Amino acid sequence: DTLWDLAIAEVEKRENPDNDDDVKPGEVWEKSILFMGNKNGGKTTIILRCLEREESPKPTLALEYTFGRRARRHNTPKDVAHFWELGGGTSLVELIRIPITSHNIRSFAVVLVLDLSKPNELWTTMESLLQVTRSHVNKILTKLEKTNPEVAAEIKQRMWNDLQRDHPDYALVDPFPIPLVIIGSKYDIFHELDSEMRKIISKTLRFVSHYYGASLVFTSRSEALLLKARALINHLAFGYDKSKSVSVDPSKPLFIPAGLDSMSQIGPPPASDSDLGKMRVNTPLELWKKVFEKTFPPKSFCDLQDTKDPAQDNQYTEYEVDVMRAQKNQ
C-alpha cells in the first residue's frame, strides 16, 4: 500500500468505526469460533491450516479446544482466538452449550463444515446443527435482554450489518443471530459429480447461506482453496479485512462473502413449475428443502448418529472410573 492508501483507509476507519474495532490500543482482542458439521468432513484440517500447524489431523472426540494468537502490530499484546470443534457430526450437538455462553456471545461465531461428497447427509446435518445452535443463542439473547439490554440490542443490530436496508432481499431473509460461515468441503470429490447434481447443491447452498446472512466458500485440500476459507475465518478470529471477491460460477468453487448474493441472482429452486406448484410449504426454506431432498433423499437421522460409544474405547480406559461406572450400571 502507498502512503495515500493507508491515509484513506485510516480516515474511512474513523468515519465508519466498526463494532470490532472498539479494541483500545494495548487491549487484547478475544474471539471464539465453533466448528461443527459432518463427521470426517475436514473440520480439523481447516483449523490446523488456519493456525498454520503442520500436524496431521486426528478424529475429534466430542468437543475439542485449541487456540491461536496473532500480534496486530509490532510490540503489541497478541490477540487470542479460541477454536472449539464439535466431533461426532450431529450426535453430540447438545455440547454446544459449553462453548457458547452469555459471557462470550458478543465475540462468538460459527463455522459449519458440510461434506459436499455426501449430498444425502447435507440437509439433515445442516438443519439439525443450525436449529439447535440458533435456539441456544436465542435463549441467551432472551436472558441478556433482561440483564444487559444494551449488549442484546447490539448483537441483534449486528445480525443485519452485512445486509444494507436497501438490499432487495431485506424482507426475505432471516439472519443467523451470530456470524456464520458455511464451508463446503471435499470440493475435489464434488467436482467429479454430474453437472446437474453440482448445480442443485451449489444453488441450494447459495440460497441457505444468503437466507441466514452467512458467507459461503467451497474448499478442498488444495492450497489456493484453503487460503480462501482461511481468509473468512481470519476475519472472524482476528478481525482481518474481509475479502470483497465473489465467485458464483457453478463450474468453479463458490466464494461468496455474506451480503454479496441476492435471490434474483440465485434464481428459483431447481424444479419444474408443476412440481413446485404441488409442494405444500410455509416458507421459502421449506420449499428449497423439499426440492433438494427430491434429488437427494436424506439419510435417516439414526444413520447419522454416532453408534460407537467412546466410553468403550480401550484407549480411554481408567481403572477406578471404569469400576465405579460398572457398579453404577449394575
What value, to the nearest 5°, has the Cα angle with vertex 33 and ends 91 and 258?
A: 100
Q: How high is the pLDDT of residue 278? A: 75
Task: Look at residue 44 and tell me whether its pLDDT is greater than 50.
Answer: yes
Strands 108-115 and 63-71: unpaired
| Lowest mean per-residue pLDDT among 15-29, 93-107, 176-190, 291-305 | 15-29
Residues 6 and 178: their CA atoms lie apart, in Å, by 30
Place of cell 459471557: 103
Share of the chain above pLDDT 70, in %: 89
pLDDT number for residue 309: 66
Phi first, then psi, for residue 110 (nearest 5°) are: -125, 135
Best-predicted range by mean pLDDT among 176-185, 277-286, 305-314? 176-185
- Which one is predicted more confidently, 52 or 149? 149
Q: How far apart are CA 135 and CA 222, in angstroms?
A: 35
| CA 242 to mean position of chain CA atoms | 16
Domain architecture of the chain: domains with CATH:
28-302 (3.40.50.300)
Give the up-direction half-sphere exposure of residue 152: CA atoms within 13 A in the CB hemisphere.
Answer: 13
* Of the listed ranges 52-56, 205-209, 261-265, the one predicted with least confidence: 52-56
The answer for residues whose C-beta is within 8 angstroms of residue 33's C-beta and 6 or more apart is 81, 82, 83, 84, 108, 109, 110, 111, 233, 236, 237
Which of residues 302 and 146 earns the better pLDDT score?
Answer: 146
Q: What is the pLDDT of residues 233-255, one digit of tens each?
A: 888 777 777 777 887 787 788 88
- Between vectors from CA 285 to CA 134 and to CA 34, what angle results, nearest 5°? 30
CA distance 168 to 191: 32
- Could you tell me the pTM of the whole model? 0.78
CA nearest to 269, candidates 248, 290, 246: 290
Whether 190 shows a pLDDT value over 80: the answer reads yes
Question: 112-171 pLDDT, tens per residue?
Answer: 998 888 888 888 888 888 888 898 988 988 888 888 888 888 888 887 777 777 777 777
Residues in the chain: 330
pLDDT at 330: 92
pLDDT per residue as tens digits for the range 251-291: 788 888 887 888 888 888 777 777 777 777 777 888 888 88
DSSP state of 72: S
Mean pLDDT of the chain: 80
Q: Which DSSP category does 93 fall into?
A: G
